[in-house]
């Protein structure tokens, strides 16, 4: 990683060599469980909710459809920091949607709530993709460079933080990038006829501060102009420095101070502990958070960390 010669021993104890935007915007207790107790293989196996899979699936479908619709550009997938793969446009929109739905169905839901959510997300995904096209295509058609990059890696070194912060840009052309967030139906009560009620989730009218923090990392690492795009099944919102003060340089610099504080707090925990159990003594768990909506066998491992 640029700017760092040797990973500190206190990071290597836990098998870590960097921070990421997801690490730094997660609650401390959730971060501790995922990154200090679990190894990389276990983190990849940790079940995540249907909405996250739906977001990944809709992003894949959008990459494929955009690669077909923006004909003057090649779309490049940068899933590996050292490799760029040309995205082959699909023969049809249905083929792209099928690829997105395959991602949604990659893992089995672990309870009835997640099963219901997945059915709702499956029904919603085509409309989310439609709104995503309306939001993204006009932005990505701007520019001169003949390549559009997807999942491009970035790295940032902040003062006092002894390891780099890495992340991936959803889309990038020329000197601007797009961070994409998707919104999915919210589960409601059982109706009189026995079916589940659902409410459609609209795109927000102002950005989530955690998303601004993530964008701030990418902005500082690249110097590129940011767009933050929210997409739901019925609408979308595009935020940039032209219509949102939170995406202007002054505010992004303030967000970077919050990111640096989050990194320093985690760094102190790492420096002053030699085991997950010891590290847990510095952090109070918040079991009521939605972040802890995970299968019981995984939750039991987490609770054991704070059992003395």
Is 300 inside any structural domain?
yes
Q: In sequence order, what are the residues at sequence separation of 6 or more whose Cβ sits closer than 8 angstroms to the Cβ of residue 21? A: 165, 167, 213, 214, 217, 218
Instruction: Give strand ranges (E) for 108-235.
Output: 147-156, 165-173, 176-182, 186-190, 196-199, 225-231
Is 299 inside any structural domain?
yes
Task: Tell me what percent of the residues of the chain surpass a pLDDT of 90.
Answer: 90
Confidence of residue 1 (pLDDT cuts 50, 70, 90): very low
The answer to pTM > 0.75 is yes
The answer to whether residue 2 scores a pLDDT higher than 80 is: no
Q: In sequence order, what are the residues at sequence separation of 6 or more whose Cβ sits closer than 8 angstroms to the Cβ of residue 247? A: 207, 212, 215, 226, 228, 239, 240, 241
For 53, the enclosing helix (H) or strand (E) is helix 50-69
Give the model confidence (pLDDT) of 114-151 as tens digits.
999 999 999 999 999 999 999 999 999 998 999 999 99
The answer to whether residue 3 scores a pLDDT higher than 50 is: no
Question: For the purposes of burial, counting CB atoms within 10 Å of the CB of 112, is it exposed (0-12), middle (13-18) or buried (19 or more)?
Answer: exposed
Give the model confidence (pLDDT) of 41-93 as tens digits.
999 999 999 999 999 999 999 999 999 999 889 999 997 777 888 888 888 99
Residue with tokens 């915007």: 25
What is the domain range of residue 249?
Answer: 9-305
Give the model confidence (pLDDT) of 7-54 as tens digits.
999 999 999 999 999 999 999 999 999 999 999 999 999 999 999 999
Provide the domain count of the chain.
Answer: 1
Is 251 inside any structural domain?
yes
The rounded distance, in Å, linking the Cα atoms of 168 and 180 is 11
Is 1 inside any structural domain?
no
Is 285 inside any structural domain?
yes
Is 4 inside any structural domain?
no
Q: What is the mean pLDDT of residues 238-258?
A: 98
């Amino acid at each position: 990683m640029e700017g760092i010669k040797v990973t500190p021993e206190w990071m290597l104890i836990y098998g870590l060599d960097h921070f990421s935007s997801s690490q730094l915007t997660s609650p401390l207790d959730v971060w501790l469980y995922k990154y200090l107790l679990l190894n990389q293989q276990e983190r990849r196996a940790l079940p995540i909710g249907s909405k996250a899979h739906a977001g990944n699936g809709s992003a894949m479908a959008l990459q494929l459809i955009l690669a077909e619709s923006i004909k003057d550009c090649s779309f490049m997938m940068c899933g590996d920091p050292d490799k760029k793969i040309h995205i082959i446009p699909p023969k049809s929109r249905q083929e792209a949607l099928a690829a997105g739905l395959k991602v949604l169905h990659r893992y089995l839901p672990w309870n009835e709530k997640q099963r219901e959510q997945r059915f709702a997300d499956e029904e919603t995904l085509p409309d989310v993709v439609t709104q995503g096209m309306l939001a993204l295509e006009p932005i990505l058609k701007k520019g001169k460079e003949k390549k559009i990059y997807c999942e491009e890696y970035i790295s940032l070194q902040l003062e006092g933080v002894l390891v780099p912060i890495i992340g991936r840009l959803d889309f990038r052309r020329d000197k601007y990038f797009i961070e994409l967030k998707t919104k999915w139906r919210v589960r409601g009560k059982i109706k009189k006829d026995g079916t589940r009620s659902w409410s459609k989730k609209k795109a927000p009218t102002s950005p989530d501060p955690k998303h601004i923090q993530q964008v701030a990392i990418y902005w500082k690492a690249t110097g590129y102009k940011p767009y933050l795009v929210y997409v739901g099944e019925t609408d979308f919102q595009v935020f940039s420095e032209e219509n949102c003060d939170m995406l202007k340089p002054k505010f992004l610099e303030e967000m970077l101070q919050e990111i640096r504080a989050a990194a320093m707090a985690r760094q102190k925990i790492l420096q002053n502990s030699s085991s997950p159990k010891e590290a847990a003594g510095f952090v109070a768990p918040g079991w009521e958070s939605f972040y802890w909506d995970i299968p019981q066998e995984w939750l039991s491992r987490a609770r054991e960390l704070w059992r003395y």
